[in-house]
Structure 1
Amino acid sequence: MDAEATVLIQLGRFDEAELLLRQSLQQHPNNRGTLNLLALLLTETGRFESALSVMAGLCESDPDDWEPLCNMACILSNVGRMEEAANLYRKAVPMAPGDPRLRLNHSITMLKSGRMAQGWAEHEWRFGLPGHTSMPLDRLLPNISPSLDLKGKRVLVTQEEGLGDTLMYLRYIPPLARTGAIVHIWGTETLAAICERVTGAAEVQFGGTTPEYDYHCPFISLPRAFSGTPDAMGAPVPYLSADRQKAEMWRQRLQDDRKFRVGLVWAGAARPEDTAALMVDRQRSLPLSALAPLADIEGASFYSLQKDRPAEQIPDFPGELINFMPECHTMDDTAALMVNLDTIVSVDTSAVHLAGGLGKPVIMMDRVNNCWRWLHGRDDTPWYPQMTIVRQTRFSDWSDVVERVKQLLEDAVAAQ
């Protein structure tokens, strides 16, 4: 039953999964695996207090098991109860100090709490899990310090996770180059042109064989390397730029639109091959129909910046939603269109990092159990000074978010 329930949870068929789990617990009420699955389901459906109650029972029944402590701390961190989460990690980490799963989750809570220097150091425990780097850790870039001489040294900066992460951490390429390092980026093709224009990138490669290097550094380790320096937040915004010729082409095509131009992104990339990413996307994305109230804004025009299958929802928008995205084949193309818009309204996906890095005003529609990088209880972010965060107040309910976004856009139109 548990295996079937796991698949149903991953597919978002929560009622069926819960029925199976409840039936299983009637037969085996103390099965820890089933109880963990039930807590996961409750979390995925926004019943956080119930999930915490299940995890508390698991903690009480086996005080020597660190995993329910960790899971309970993750839930608390998700809902912003940061000090409670930290207290649980203080108990759990000494119980399994060498477990990378525990230490990585601990790092996420520290980062969400704003304890950046400690959080980035702890975040290196991700290398104990598969899928982060196959490069030798003895040649990982050390922390930047006065005693570290990088002049003339080749530093290979490598793609690690999603496009948004790369766009976010490209801000560290300029200060890395200022150390005298020769910066070689080994990334993904869709970001190649954007990477090439970042100040300090000596060479950009996608595909092929591993080039020669003195040190390597996955993008997500760059903030750890700079955490003790004046460049702890990387280069100031904007650190990304659009292709001038492409941007000029879009300027000319859009010049007759005198309205306030709004770019819309309502869904992230589902990545069905990645279960964790799929489950996150289910919470961060919304149907385009939920943005229908925006169509009533006088003086605004709307441009789709949406890629992939969610773009099929464009007919669901009650007003005109201009769609040039079939002409945008890479992030470089999208960036050129973006710089000709007045503001970007997006869910938490790579588009906010592209727009933020370009220095564009961004309104990010965020879920109630938000990602660590947006900290807790804030409607701004140190990463992108021109971003406003509009967060859910109720799990999976976008209605009040859309109303607040509408008001922000109406104010922006009036201020033109």
Structure 2
Amino acid sequence: MGSTGPSHDWRFGLTQAVADGDLNLQAKLYRQALAEAPGNHRLWVNYGDVHWLQGNVAESLVAFRRACSLSPDAVLAWRGLAHALRDGRQYRAALEALSKARALQDSPLLAWSASQLLLGLERYGEAYALAERRLNHPELELYRTPQPPPVLLRDASPASASTSELVVFSEQGFGDTLQYLRWLVPLLNRGWRVQLELEPALVSLVVEGMAWLGSAADRLQVWPRQPAAPPLTQQPAAVLSLLSLPYQLGGAPAADFFRSQRQGQWLGYLRHQLWMPPPPRSQPRIGLLWASGRKEDDAFLAREYRQRSLPAEALGALLLGLQSQGAELVSLQLGPDRQRAGPWQQLVSEQLAEGSDFLATAAAVRRLDLVITVDTAMAHLCGAIGQQAWVLLPFAADPRWLRGRSQSAWYPSLRLWRQPEPHQWKPVIEKLLAALPGWWQQQRLS
């Protein structure tokens, strides 16, 4: 009878490969182990995970399907298959795989993954109800302990509550926070008083950007988050994560509320009287951001960084193509990824100052005719302030951007440019550059 497990040499080599973060070597060692033990479903799961981290969708699908066939009761196999199907933009099939995993062993993490697929399928009510399960995850570190209201806020009013005070705190990254700030507007307009606790870099943007609400804005207090949440001075009607507001209020994606009643133009929900449209000019002034947050100490975050960021060759083609059409280029890239522009840095006429907070960044962005950005907080900032932006999306884009669309359901001022196949930025850049002259001619006529 043949061996069902890998050799000790394989295990030793893998331990070192994992410590070094060498995904190529890990894949090689798993192939060797599978040659010895092709019926070991755990090896197939691990092999699929490595290919998934490398962004190899087709290879990861093969591995996870093999694992599921070998062990139909293996939760990790079905979860891995769901992740690979999601990256292949097969949301319904991915949701079915997650349903099988949850039937075996449900968890807040699996429920959260399913909620994101439901968002991609535009089943918003189901998605946000299921997303609340994340709050039960034992490892989720929240700024405050949530205290939901006795009834959903969509069915309540300040007059019927014991107090009109709500405490809302940010959760997850800048992009998520910027996206979900829109639900503050209906809260304030209904008469709720909101204590909002945010990362310091966002505070001034929200204070200034919500002032357009007039007297309703007086009911908003914005506080910078501290290393630890200070005690509340009084008991509010509820303590909520910002990401729970879509569930509490409904109405996702809540875009039409922020359109001009006269022209139907998307105005955004963060506005400032000094953010005026750019002046007329003969050639466009375009801001660029090409990398999505360098986080290479975590395998999952490193994967997101690689998938979303433009490699040097694609970035060079974009900068040279824009410059050849007479565009004035402004770098919005901060941090070490500024150097990614390499020899093409000389094509940039201006750079956003290091250390700029979101209010300063918004003011700089509003002076531009267009922003071209990868999927990062900049895309959400542009959408929130009503700035025109073209967003470059990888093939395995986040489900919030839906599938097969060039317009965003969340931000009508954004245009989406999608990879036709994994890792292929060249056709995206070529299509974008071909569309630029027509777009600019339309801008000058409007």
TM-score (norm 2): 0.83
Partner of residue 184, structure 1? 195
| Alpha carbons 1:304, 1:323 under 8 Å: kept | yes
Q: Call closer, same or farther: CA 1:231–1:399 in 2, change over 3 Å.
A: closer
CA distance in 2, matches of 1:231, 1:24: 47
Pairing partner for 1:267 from 291, 301, 320: 291
CA shift, 1:170, in A, is 0.9
SS at match of 2:416: strand
Q: Call closer, same or farther: CA 1:210–1:371 in 2, change over 3 Å.
A: farther
Q: AA paired with 1:322?
A: S
Partner of residue 20, structure 1? 29
Equivalent residue runs for 1:237-276 within 5 Å: 237-242=267-272, 244=274, 258-276=282-300
Q: AA paired with 1:214?
A: A
Q: Call closer, same or farther: CA 1:131–1:92 in 2, change over 3 Å.
A: closer
Q: AA paired with 2:204?
A: A
CA distance in 2, matches of 1:318, 1:324: 10
CA distance in 1, matches of 2:157, 2:280: 54
| Residues 1:161 and 2:177 are matched in the alignment | no
Pairing partner for 1:221 from 231, 238, 244: 244
Partner of residue 173, structure 1? 184
Pairing partner for 1:206 from 216, 224, 230: 224
CA distance in 1, matches of 2:179, 2:143: 22
CA distance in 2, matches of 1:18, 1:106: 28
| Residues 1:37 and 2:67 are matched in the alignment | no
Q: AA paired with 1:287?
A: P
Question: CA offsets, 1:4-33, max 9 Å, x none?
Answer: 44445xx4x432221222233344444444
Q: Call closer, same or farther: CA 1:5–1:121 in 2, change over 3 Å.
A: farther
| Alpha carbons 1:243, 1:332 under 8 Å: kept | no
Q: Call closer, same or farther: CA 1:261–1:157 in 2, change over 3 Å.
A: same
| Alpha carbons 2:42, 2:67 under 8 Å: kept | no
CA distance in 2, matches of 1:260, 1:141: 52
Equivalent residue runs for 1:275-294 within 5 Å: 275-294=299-318
| Alpha carbons 2:157, 2:190 under 8 Å: kept | no
Instruction: Compare 405-414 and 341-350 and name the one that shifted more.
Output: 405-414
Question: CA offsets, 1:259-288, max 9 Å, x none?
Answer: 201110100112345443222111101135
Q: Call closer, same or farther: CA 1:233–1:216 in 2, change over 3 Å.
A: farther
| Alpha carbons 1:242, 1:339 under 8 Å: kept | no
CA shift, 1:363, in A, is 0.6
CA shift, 1:392, in A, is 0.5
CA distance in 1, matches of 2:357, 2:243: 22
CA shift, 1:85, in A, is 1.9
CA shift, 1:206, in A, is 1.0
Q: Call closer, same or farther: CA 1:414–1:187 in 2, change over 3 Å.
A: same
Question: CA offsets, 1:375-408, max 9 Å, x none?
Answer: 1221111111121111111211210111111122
| Alpha carbons 1:73, 1:88 under 8 Å: kept | yes
Q: Call closer, same or farther: CA 1:118–1:190 in 2, change over 3 Å.
A: same
Partner of residue 349, structure 1? 376
| Residues 1:106 and 2:114 are matched in the alignment | yes
| Alpha carbons 2:375, 2:392 under 8 Å: kept | yes
| Alpha carbons 2:61, 2:81 under 8 Å: kept | yes
SS at match of 2:427: helix
Partner of residue 136, structure 1? 145
Equivalent residue runs for 1:285-364 within 5 Å: 285-294=309-318, 295-296=320-321, 297-317=324-344, 320-326=347-353, 329-364=356-391
Instruction: Compare 308-317 and 381-390 and name the one that shifted more.
Output: 308-317
Partner of residue 88, structure 2? 79
Instruction: Compare 43-52 and 118-127 and name the one that shifted more.
Output: 43-52
Instruction: Compare 184-193 and 375-384 and name the one that shifted more.
Output: 375-384
CA distance in 2, matches of 1:105, 1:258: 47
Q: Call closer, same or farther: CA 1:301–1:307 in 2, change over 3 Å.
A: same
| Residues 1:196 and 2:207 are matched in the alignment | yes
Q: Call closer, same or farther: CA 1:15–1:147 in 2, change over 3 Å.
A: closer
CA shift, 1:91, in A, is 2.8
CA shift, 1:48, in A, is 2.2
Question: CA offsets, 1:38-89, max 9 Å, x none?
Answer: 1022223343233222212221222222321122122112211122223223
| Alpha carbons 2:147, 2:239 under 8 Å: kept | no
TM-score (norm 1): 0.88
CA shift, 1:185, in A, is 0.9
Q: Call closer, same or farther: CA 1:305–1:142 in 2, change over 3 Å.
A: farther
Question: CA offsets, 1:275-334, max 9 Å, x none?
Answer: 432221111011354233343442311110101111123443276212332265211111
Q: AA paired with 1:207?
A: R
Partner of residue 116, structure 1? 124
Q: Call closer, same or farther: CA 1:305–1:210 in 2, change over 3 Å.
A: farther
CA distance in 2, matches of 1:206, 1:49: 44
CA distance in 2, matches of 1:6, 1:374: 33
CA distance in 1, matches of 2:76, 2:291: 32
CA distance in 2, matches of 1:370, 1:300: 28
Instruction: Compare 78-87 and 303-312 and name the one that shifted more.
Output: 78-87
Q: Call closer, same or farther: CA 1:57–1:39 in 2, change over 3 Å.
A: same
SS at match of 2:353: helix
SS at match of 1:326: coil
CA distance in 2, matches of 1:49, 1:186: 42
Gaps of 5+ in 1: none
How many residue pairs were aligned?
Answer: 405
Q: Call closer, same or farther: CA 1:35–1:178 in 2, change over 3 Å.
A: same
Q: AA paired with 1:309?
A: P
CA shift, 1:233, in A, is 4.9
CA shift, 1:356, in A, is 0.9
Q: AA paired with 1:167?
A: L
Q: AA paired with 2:79?
A: C
Partner of residue 263, structure 2? none
CA shift, 1:218, in A, is 1.2
